[in-house]
Amino acid sequence: MRFALGVEYDGSGFSGWQRLSPAGTHVADGSLQTALEIALSKVADARIDTVCAGRTDAGVHARCQVVHFDTDAVRDVRGWVLGTTANLPPAIAVRWCVPVADAFSARFAARSRRYRYRILNRGTRPGLARQYLSWERMPLDADAMHAAAQALRGERDFSAFRSIQCQAAHARRDLHDIVVSRHDDEVHVEVQANAFLHHMVRNIVGSLLPVGRGERPVEWIAGLLEGRDRSVAGPTAPAAGLLFLGPRYPRQWGLPPEVCGDDIPS
C-alpha cells in the first residue's frame, strides 16, 4: 500500500534532505531522508524507502515536505504519524498521513512548489530565531525588490540563478509568482514555481539584495536573466532564511488542503 506523509523540520544541523548513505542501507548519515526512513522502518518492522516532493539543502527548513512510501505493513494512519514521530529527532515531525493511489508520486504529481525567504532588516543581528532568518543591516527597499523580481515571472531560462553543482538537465523553469513584502523589520520573498534549480531561490534573493540596498537599478534583474551568466549575479543568500512551504497537488489525490486544491497551475 502507498501512503503520503506531510513532514515538517528544522534543517539546522542536517546535511540536507537527500540520503548520503549507500543504496540499500539505512545508516545514520546526517540527512533528513535517512532519519525519516529509519523511523518509518521501525514502525513497519521492515525497510521503508521514501520519495519526496523537493529536496532541500543543508540548513533549509520545511513547513510541509510531502513524501510517499510503499509498505505491506498494516498500520493505521495514527500509528504512522505518532509512531514515526516518536522515533524521529526532535527537529523533525510527521504532521499527517494519508493513504494514496499507487499512481501517486510525491515528486511527479506535484504541480508547483512554494518557498519563503525571511530577511531580518535592522542594524543588529538576530538573537532569537536566528536559525530561521538571514540578516541585512542596510535598509532595504522592498518595493524596488518586488518590482525587480517581476521580470522573473513566466517560463524562463534561469541559468543566471543556478549553482554550478546543479544536476538538472536544463535551466528552464516556470516561475508562477514572486512577491517581496515588508513585515515590520523583516523582508519576505515568497516564490512559487513548477520546480526549482539547485540554489535557485537563494541566488535570486542574493541578487535582489543589491537592488534593495540601492546599489543596482530595478532593471538589473531582467538583465541578469537575459545574460544567463551566474558569475555576474549576486551571491547565494544564506540557507537559514529559507523555508520550503510545500508542494501543491491536484485535488484528485485527496491530500490535505494545505497541499491540494483547485487553485494550482495546470
Q: Are 241 and 118 in contact (CB under 8 A)?
A: yes
Asked whether the predicted pLDDT for residue 26 surpasses 90, the reply is: no
- Kindly report which listed range (12-21, 195-204, 234-243, 251-260) carries the lowest average pLDDT score: 12-21
pLDDT mean across residues, the chain: 94
Asked whether the predicted pLDDT for residue 263 surpasses 90, the reply is: no
pLDDT in tens, 173-188: 999 999 999 999 999 9
pLDDT in tens, 140-166: 999 999 999 999 999 999 999 998 888
Asked whether the predicted pLDDT for residue 265 surpasses 60, the reply is: no
Domain edges within the chain: 2-109, 112-244
pLDDT in tens, 81-126: 999 999 999 999 999 999 999 999 999 999 999 999 999 999 999 9
Mean pLDDT of 220-234: 95
Q: What angle do CA 55, 61, 64 make, to 5 degrees?
A: 75
pLDDT of 23 reads 67
Name the pLDDT band for 218 (thresholds 50, 70, 90).
Answer: very high
Q: Which fold, 2-109?
A: Alpha-Beta Plaits (3.30.70)
User: Which residues are catalytically annotated?
Assistant: 57
pLDDT of 21 reads 77
Q: What angle do CA 138, 143, 144 make, to 5 degrees?
A: 70
Rounded to an integer, what distance in angstroms lies between the CA atom of residue 201 and that of residue 192? Answer: 10
Ramachandran bin of 46, using left for φ above 0, alpha for ψ from -120 to 50, beta for the remaining angles: beta
Rounded to an integer, what distance in angstroms lies between the CA atom of residue 175 and that of residue 13? Answer: 30
pTM of structure = 0.93
In CATH, 112-244 is 3.30.360.10: no
Please determine whether the domains at 2-109 and 112-244 fall in the same fold group of CATH: yes
The count of C-alpha atoms lying within 13 angstroms of the C-alpha of 192, restricted to the half-sphere facing its C-beta, is 14
